[in-house]
Amino acid sequence: MTSIATEAPPLAESRPSRHAMRVRCRRRTLPYLLLAPSLLLLAGFTYWPIVRVVWDSLHDRILGQAASRFVGLGNYASLFSDHAFLKAVINNLVYAIGTVPLSMVLALLFALALQRSTRVNAILRALLLFPSMVPLVAAASLFFFIFLPGVGLFDYYLAKIGLRGANWLGDPDIALWSLIGITVWKNAGYYMLFYLAGLQTLPGDVLEAATIDGASAWQRLRHVIVPLLAPTTAFVLVIALINVLTQVDHVIVLTKGGPSNSTKLVLYYIFEQAHENFAAGKAAAASVLSVAFLLAMSVVSLKTMERGTHAAS
């Protein structure tokens, strides 16, 4: 009897431990169950397309046949031997150099000028932000009438001051710069919002100390404001580079890559290869290269943001 009585407490103690294990297991699995729908959607609409594009870039599909054959890096090799692709890459580089720095500089200047919360500044902010809210297709259609040679709005006002307009969309030397002007007009106000938010987080004591030490407005901007805004600038740079590689609506509406491939950007080249030339492998390979470039630039910019945050703290 005594042995049975002494063995009973351990059995009673084992029951709470099993209950605790069940509760712990439920706590661990509940977050994953709640995240499961989002994870499934993320996998189906984000990661699976990436895997499929990489798979297609390593295969070549013959027109009219469902099966595809493995070609390895053959699509990538044919890309770099394609003069149209190299031209598109050069056009994209020129397009990025013409749009990204100018848009970011204008955005910073706009933010510095309108950082105070007044009624006039609120109206000016809304006016500068308005182009970013206009769809790119609508903006391109609007600029089509502005750039009409001879009768367009731009040439009309140039004639008022005695100047003769050019063929803004038909001249291979000017067409890409016309698209650059549209992009700067559309994106500068959007980037201004990020700089306005960044200016609100600047430490006021640092600016006051620089003013007391006799620093001029230019010196405060160069040695205080711009370095402290490095994380914001890195973030805006990522957004700007994404826009450079993903905005193609104005090319389709205005020039369709012409004249003489002078406005053919990489994304339009991908569209052309996939939907006009039915070269899905080359289009997928170009997409992989574009995403890899964006990923590399994003990593560099995020590292810059991290260093800037540590320096500011």
Lowest mean pLDDT among 16-25, 33-42, 135-144, 178-187: 16-25
- Position 129 confidence tier, pLDDT thresholds 50, 70, 90: very high
266-277 average pLDDT score:
90
Domains, in order of start, for the chain: 15-57 (no CATH), 74-312 (1.10.3720.10)
Q: 219, exposed or middle or buried, with CB in 10 Å at 0-12, 13-18, 19+?
A: middle
pLDDT of residue 2: 47
pTM of the full structure: 0.83
CB-based contact 197:232 (threshold 8 Å)? yes
pLDDT of residue 309: 58
Asked if pLDDT for residue 197 goes beyond 50, the answer is yes
H helix intervals, the chain: 2-42, 48-57, 74-80, 83-113, 119-133, 136-146, 153-160, 175-200, 204-212, 217-220, 226-228, 230-246, 249-250, 266-275, 280-312
Amino acid at residue number 7: E
Amino acid at residue number 64: G
- Position 4 confidence tier, pLDDT thresholds 50, 70, 90: very low
Lowest mean pLDDT among 14-23, 98-107, 139-148: 14-23
Amino acid at residue number 228: L
Q: How far is CA 11 from CA 5, 14, 19, 20, 24, in A?
A: 11, 5, 13, 15, 20
Asked if pLDDT for residue 15 goes beyond 60, the answer is no
How many other CB atoms sit within 10 Å of the CB of residue 35? 11
Which of 25-34, 59-68, 302-311 tops mean pLDDT? Answer: 25-34
